[in-house]
Structure 1
Amino acid sequence: MSFPVKPPANVASLFTPLKLGPNVARNRIFMSPLTRNRSVPTNVPNDLNVEYYRQRAKSAGMIVTEGTLISQQGTEWPNAPGIWSKEHVDAWKKVTDAVHEEGGLIYIQLWHLGRSDHPDAPEQIASGQPVYGPSAIAARGGKFRHIPGQPGYVTPTEIDDPSTIIAQYKQAAQNAMEAGFDGAELHGANGYLPHQFLDSTSNHRTDAWGGSIPNRAKFTLEALRAIVDVWGKERVGLKLTPGGGYNDMGMPLDETKETFGYLVQEADKMGIGYIVLARYWELGDPMIDGKRRGTPHDVIEAYGPLIKNSQKFSNTQFTPEEAAKYISEGKLDAVLFGTAWIAHPDLAKRVQYGKPLDNQPDPKTFYGHSTDLEELRKGYTDYPEAKYD
């Protein structure tokens, strides 16, 4: 759907179409992955999820799904969706069909939490697998609030052969293609498994998957190659959070810049469709042992110039006006918005029509804590659209 109204001049660059592989996004106001805990009663998308994505597909340039599990894991996010089974494929097909009916594009974010799982979570128990990580090093902080006693992170079992997890990414990518997605994004951010391999504080391996920067980057790059084998390079994206913090991630600044600089350049050489450089966010950087864990720095300035072949995206605390400025100056090709999409199902249309973003998001409803679909609608599919003449 396109809208016949000329946008305000200060956001006009957001409404230039953008080519994404064989597809064209109608605008550059993209929807960021947003874990919402609504795939009840287990991990399979339902009709409420279909409604949620359909609402936002009416105006979003492109949607990236909430983190979608490539295998059954004891995540800190109960009722997160998966993509490892035929049941998941069939359920996600309803979502992708709905998005396409509204003229939208939708990529799936492929997710493995690594050491950020818990052995007592129902899904982990059902999987029959231990919690895995690159090394037997537990993350600090964090609480599994859906598990009695609210336990913290545990020491993971070191992955014996990381290529077995790479194979899971490839199968998940194949499942996603069968489900009708337009592309796939590797979740390499926020202290989850690819990030754990990359960071020297969580990866103490001495084999080919640890030690040097190329070895620590190997897992992310091999996972990318596996997804590219399925989708082709132009329909694959990578999300990174070089500022760290979340899930006990962060290296000294010089090491951070050298490590992420190497990874960004190697991913860019592959010619993948896009790289997301998520900005540092203090609220996502918890206090551990009395100080912030992350490494604050300007990630767009540090790594954006290294990207020569892929599109450059970013997210985290952008206003539409700021996003438009970055795009008009050539620093970014698109911006993903998160919380703004939660509270405004018509976000892009509001920006184009100059309507205020006046719905107040309710953090108490960001994450579902029920199995009742009517209860789960609150703060999910019940935010109103603006009134248009």
Structure 2
Amino acid sequence: MSQKPAAGRISFRMETALRSNSPGTTLLAKYQHSKIRPRRAVKVAVSPSASAPVTLAPRYEVPRDINPLLSPYTLGEFELSHRVVLAPLTRCRAIGTVPQKNAAEYYAQRTSKGGLLISEATCVAVTGHGYPNTPGVYTEEQINAWKPVTQAVRDAGGIFFLQLWHCGRSSHPEYQPNGADPISASAVAISKGTVTTPSGDAYPFPVPRALEISEIPGVVKSYADGARNSLAAGFHGVEIHGANGYLIDQFLKSNANKRTDKYGGSIPNRCRFALEVAAAVADAVGPELTGIRLSPYSEFQEATDPETLDLNLYLVDKLSEMGLLYVHAVEARISGGFEVEGSSESLDPLRKAFKGCFMVAGGYTRETGIHAIESGHADLVAYGREFISNPDLPLRFARPDAPLNPYNRDTFYTPDQVVGYLDYPFLKDVSPEAAQLAA
């Protein structure tokens, strides 16, 4: 599909410049009837390896019982020392879809002993890309490049999950093999905004190609393969990206899904693809190592649905039956990476419906995170922008008066391997007294 680029080139700022804005299937039935793996009672102690590399970042343990955010939590097999999670954060620094060596230091900087980290969104297939310099986990080169990154996190005592991603229609032919149109649930384009190509030009979003039913099992398999490859690369588990208007969300939300076959129309049909992916991933690596991220009320990339509560209650109930480790839900006040007008919509019904761990994300502060844990709104709280600029964020949360470095949005999505990536100072450097009191 040929389109003229918008005038001029743009900087790599993801959400503003890069983006504006039923039972019966074979895998699912097989999983429901015979393939559910019981959660093991044994707990995994995460500790440095005997052949640990040179320390890449200050190692520290977060003080316990200072506040609920810093209280321990048992996440399936993993004993977390606190409840502050590194949210999945696209950084656009994987040159040629391959993680670079500085990624090891970046993630190690944000690792605390017993802390949970979720990787940047990582494509499960060559067709899955839609942003410049985003990583994959579908080639041997990518898998090998991830290994020193996961090792750095393990050596610092962290637990590391990879987020499995496919952009679907949020892409452009320049990202696709042979210049093909991106795939989606239906041939419905994102009507507003632009997509940035690998060369840095801005184009209108193209009309995607609706997947044929015969193609869907192959796409489902790519998620399962990505999960296996993630564990081979050294990750402890995986998170399925089912949020923010990407491929899975394009099947879930009726404004993007106009299908009239078994993958469209009714709520069970629109949930079918998500449930097939979840079943395949859980079958590949175990439900006890599988989480999923959802954004029920987000309108990012025009993925909306008038039945969103009923849709997500149905979906979460089925995911709970599968025994998935956690659901990671984005609050209504966050759309993509930006805060939006306040909403009265609550995640509490989904929290009650899901029997496993419930994690939330969405502009949380230290105080609102404490309240989320105290009130039972969530078990874990994921932090994004503040974790970018404060690599030792959990330690800072041990003291209400500990200063937070301000983040610079202009460097969120640049390809620079240091600036805005490795150069934010630690608490011990900006406030030795606060660091000592927190230790």
Deviation at 1:70, TM superposition (A): 0.4
Cα deviations by residue, 1:89-118 (Å, 9 ceiling, x for unpaired): 111111110000000010000000111110
1:377 is aligned to: 418
Q: TM-score, normalised by structure 1?
A: 0.89
Who is 1:101 aligned against? 155
Tell me: CA distance 1:220–1:74, structure 2 relative to 1, closer, same or farther (3 Å): closer
- In structure 1, what residue type is equivalent to 2:312? F
Q: 1 CA distance for matches of 2:98 and 2:363? A: 30
On the 8 A contact 1:70/1:169 being kept in 2, the answer is yes
In structure 1, what is the Cα distance between the partners aligned to 2:176 and 2:310? Answer: 35
Provide the C-alpha distance between the structure 1 equivalents of 2:130 and 2:331, rounded to a whole number of angstroms. 23
Shift of 1:148: 6.0
Q: Is the 8 A contact 2:299 2:335 kept in 1?
A: no
Tell me whether 1:30 sits opposite 2:71 in the alignment. Answer: no
Q: Is structure 2 residue 200 aligned with structure 1 residue 151?
A: no
In 1, the alpha carbon distance for the partners of 2:168 and 2:262 equals 18
Give the corresponding residue for 1:326: 372
Alignment CA distance shift 1:348-1:209 (3 Å): same
Which residue identity does 2:316 align to in structure 1?
Answer: V
Cα distance, 1:7–1:355 mapped onto 2, change above 3 Å: farther
Provide the C-alpha distance between the structure 1 equivalents of 2:240 and 2:64, rounded to a whole number of angstroms. Answer: 35
Q: Which residue of 1 aligns with 2:427?
A: 386
One-letter identity of the residue aligned with 1:299: S
Deviation at 1:74, TM superposition (A): 6.7
User: Is the 1:189–1:241 Cα contact (8 Å) retained in structure 2?
Assistant: yes
Between the aligned partners of 1:238 and 1:68, the Cα distance in structure 2 is 14
Per the TM alignment, residue 297 of structure 1 is displaced from its structure 2 partner at its CA by 4.2
Matched, 1:16 2:63: no
Q: Counterpart in 2 of 1:137?
A: 188
Distance across 2 between alignment mates of 1:129 and 1:69: 17
- The whole-number CA distance in structure 1 between the counterparts of 2:380 and 2:264 is 33
Which of residues 103, 119, 122 is equivalent to 2:173? 119
After superposition, the Cα gap between the structure-2 partners of 1:295 and 1:157, relative to the gap in structure 1 and judged at 3 Å, is farther
Indicate how the Cα distance of structure 1 residues 148 and 338 shifts in structure 2: closer, same or farther if over 3 A, else same: closer
Deviation at 1:170, TM superposition (A): 0.8
**Partner secondary structure for residue 46 of structure 1:** coil
Say if 1:136 and 1:157, in contact at 8 Å, map to a contact too: yes
Q: 1-side partners of 2:153 and 2:395: how far apart?
A: 16
- Superposition pairs for residues 213-252 of structure 1, below 5 Å? 213-252=267-306
Q: Work out the CA distance in 1 between the residues paired with 2:62 and 2:169.
A: 49
Report the equivalent of 1:72: 126
Judge conservation of contact 1:107–1:183 (CA < 8 Å) in 2.
Answer: yes
Distance 1:182 1:148, change over 3 A: closer
Unaligned runs of 5+ in 1: 287-291
Q: Distance in 1 between matches of 2:200 and 2:243?
A: 28
- For 2:250 and 2:62, the matched residues in 1 are separated by 46
CA contact (8 A) 1:20 1:235 kept: no
Shift of 1:353: 4.0
Whether the 8 Å contact between 2:62 and 2:398 is mirrored in structure 1 is no
Measure how far apart 1:299 and its partner are.
3.3
How many pairs are equivalent? Answer: 368
SS of match in other structure, 1:361: coil
Q: Which runs of 5+ in 2 are unaligned?
A: 1-58, 429-434
What aligned pairs does 1:1-389 form with structure 2 within 5 A after superposition? 3=61, 5=63, 8=66, 12-40=67-95, 42-58=96-112, 61-73=115-127, 75-120=129-174, 123-125=175-177, 129-146=180-197, 147=199, 150-160=202-212, 161-252=215-306, 255-281=307-333, 284=336, 296-307=343-354, 309-354=355-400, 356-368=402-414, 370=415, 375-387=416-428, 388-389=435-436
CA shift for structure 1 position 7: 5.6
CA distance in 2, matches of 1:67, 1:81: 8
Please say if residues 119 and 130 of structure 1, whose CA atoms lie closer than 8 Å, have aligned partners that are also in contact: yes
CA contact (8 A) 1:76 1:118 kept: yes
